[in-house]
Amino acid sequence: MADRKPPTNLRGHRARTDRNLLLGFFALLLLVGGGLIWWLYGGSAAAVGVVCIALGAGLAGVVLLITLGFQWLSDWLDRRELNE
């Protein structure tokens, strides 16, 4: 009998990959962007730039939470409909 591979969770893998890419993007933006601002314009401009980058990341987080909330609500309504 041939060796069978265990089933893979492709949706979970994609969700983890998307999350890691998004976190990596904002970390890279914060480090490289903040570093370049500091190098070109000085420390006070870098502080303002890092605050702006952090606020942008926070806004992206809020949008993500709203999207996840709608997904949770949709799943909950589907489960409720199936139970009736």
The per-residue pLDDT for 2 is: 61
The per-residue pLDDT for 81 is: 81
pLDDT-derived band at 54 (thresholds 50, 70, 90) equals confident
Confirm if 29 and 49 have CB atoms less than 8 A apart. Answer: no
Residue 3 has pLDDT above 80, yes or no: no
Looking at residue 20, its amino acid is N
Closest listed residue to residue 37, CA positions, set 54, 21, 29: 29
- pTM of the predicted model as reported, rounded to 2 decimal places: 0.64
Residue 11 has pLDDT above 90, yes or no: no
